Amino acid sequence: MKRAFVPIAFILIVAILGAYLITSEYRKRNKPVRTQTPETEEVVSLDDLQATDTVMLINADMNAKKLLVRHLGSVEDYELTFDGTVPFLNKYGTSITASELKCGEILDIVYSKHSGKVSNVRISSKTWTMTGMTDYEIDANRKTMTIMGEAYQFGADLMAFSDDLPVRLMDITNIDTLTIKGYNRKVCSVAIEKGHGYLRIRNDAYFIGGWIEVGQKIIRPITEEMLLPVPEGRYKVRVTNRGYAGEENVVIERDKETELDLSKIEVEEVAIGHVQFDLSPEYAQLYVDDEITDYEERVPLEYGTHKIRVSAAGFETVETNIKIGNDYANVEIALDPLPEGEEEEEAVDKRPPIIPSTELSENTSGENESIGEERSAASQDDATDTSQQADTATVSGNKKIVVQAPADAEVYLDGNYIGVAPVSTGKVTGSHTITLSKAGYITKSYTIYVENDNNDVNLSFSDLMAE
């Protein structure tokens, strides 16, 4: 009996010791975390451990009280929740409502690492916003965005939005008006404030070779079967050719086509303006609408837009447009000397064509409208037709821009019809807008940038969406 008691006692002792050790370890692992300050000691539960992060807002669901966010510098999104007690602040610390937050906003947030519940949201004080931006250029290859002449970088985490929905960067055309948000010198998000629709020209046979003006936004030579991307809004459209002109008011809606039937426009004879050209050097050659023109006397030109080219040996060639709107006007064009060692044929002015003024006003006082070194910013604002930049772009030999897909879609390059996909056209470097149209489907535009290399450009786009 005595011998049996010893093993039993030993077993009981081991069991009690084991239970003690297990209990101690459990208590140790679940012991509250203590944070101390010089004034107080606070006990914090693991459930209440908080994190601070700088994120971009991808989506805000006000009904479910959820925020979809992306950590800056990452392409991974995560979801957070909030309730009615959470303070939302602007970058200056003033209270705002959650519904005032816009997709693409850069936020400093505090949230629970365990539950994902937000306890504080503030628009980051390090963020910047530019609204109403039309002076920009996006280079997706170099991941740079030039805004009003200043270069900014962006990364793979850049987000683009339209109507608070994510879109691709190539869905933005250079005629859209943007809100741009950044953090330090980095662009983080772009949102389309004002998009574009399309103006389809019908029954254009008489006016081909003339000009079309859509407000002050677009001034283009008329080609066959045009489909022009145009910023949404109301415009007066004016067409001119061979001494006659017609006008019509149109409304352009985002992502929709508006037809303009030129056979139904009331046409009237165009007045004639008389323009005195003062060119420097004096032996420079003047071409008006691609025809060499004698300018010793005033040159009679129809009211409307005309293409001007001035060239001289040893000077840079200037190409621009002028708009005649009165009986008499003077135009002064001073050519810049070629840089030393540069060949004349390589010296075409690379600046985009501009309109010297909305209209060349009547000028009997001897004052001149000038083109050259003193081109004003206001003049450039009047001529926002960026599609004309192709006039001075480089034609890349016998290389092609080839659009493979979507099959059977009509393809337009900068508003000019080139055929039905698959189709090709001559390669011209620079920024261009490709527009795809097909009956029963929503018309779509994309911005492309064509490099000056010795390669064809092969493009395939997603299928169009049914209307």
Residues 6+ apart with CB under 8 A from 452: 394, 396, 429
pLDDT confidence of residue 178: 96
Residue listed under structure tokens 């006000």: 62
Residue 440 located in a structural domain: yes
pLDDT confidence of residue 353: 35
DSSP element (H, E) containing 180: strand 177-183
- Looking at the structure, do residues 360 and 422 belong to the same domain, yes or no? no
The β-bridge partners of 138 are 145
- Looking at the structure, do residues 352 and 334 belong to the same domain, yes or no? yes
Residue 356: asked if its preceding bond is cis (omega within 30°), the reply is: no
Q: Which of 375, 354, 359, 279 is nearest to 326 (CA)?
A: 359
Residue 466 located in a structural domain: no
Task: State both tokens at 147.
Answer: 């805004």
Residue listed under structure tokens 């001289």: 312
pLDDT confidence of residue 177: 95
CATH code for position 52? 2.40.50.320
Residue 421 located in a structural domain: yes
- Looking at the structure, do residues 90 and 104 belong to the same domain, yes or no? yes
Residue 149 located in a structural domain: yes
What is the distance between the alpha carbons of residues 120 and 111, in angstroms, rounded to a whole number? 7
* Boundary (domain end) residue, out of 356, 375, 392: 392
pLDDT confidence of residue 179: 96
* 134 touches 177 (CB < 8 A): yes
Task: State both tokens at 62.
Answer: 């006000």
Residue 111 located in a structural domain: yes
pLDDT confidence of residue 203: 92
Residue 92 located in a structural domain: yes
- Looking at the structure, do residues 7 and 110 belong to the same domain, yes or no? no
Q: State phi, psi for 299 to the nearest 5 degrees.
A: -100, 120
| pLDDT, tens digit only, all 467 positions of the chain | 455 555 666 666 766 766 666 666 555 555 444 444 454 445 555 446 888 999 999 999 989 999 999 988 888 889 999 998 999 999 899 999 988 998 999 999 999 988 899 999 999 999 999 999 999 988 888 899 999 999 999 998 899 999 888 998 888 988 999 999 999 889 999 999 999 999 999 999 889 988 899 987 788 889 999 999 999 999 999 998 888 889 999 999 999 999 999 999 988 888 888 999 999 999 999 999 888 999 989 999 888 888 899 999 999 999 988 888 888 889 999 999 988 765 544 444 333 333 333 344 334 333 344 444 333 333 333 334 433 333 445 565 688 999 999 999 999 999 999 999 999 999 988 888 999 999 999 999 998 888 888 888 999 999 999 88
Residue listed under structure tokens 């003033």: 94
- Looking at the structure, do residues 164 and 176 belong to the same domain, yes or no? yes
- Looking at the structure, do residues 248 and 325 belong to the same domain, yes or no? no
Q: Mind spelling out the 3-state secondary structure of 8-60?
A: HHHHHHHHHHHHHHHHHHHHHHCCCEEEECCCCEEEECHHHCEEEEEEEEEEE
Residue 38 located in a structural domain: no
* Boundary (domain end) residue, out of 269, 295, 312: 269
- Looking at the structure, do residues 276 and 351 belong to the same domain, yes or no? yes
- Looking at the structure, do residues 434 and 379 belong to the same domain, yes or no? no
- Looking at the structure, do residues 131 and 79 belong to the same domain, yes or no? no
Q: Which domain holds residue 379?
A: 272-392
Residue 39 located in a structural domain: no
Domains identified in the chain, total number: 6
> For 82-155, where are the E strands, in sequence order?
88-89, 106-112, 118-123, 127-133, 136-139, 144-147, 150-153
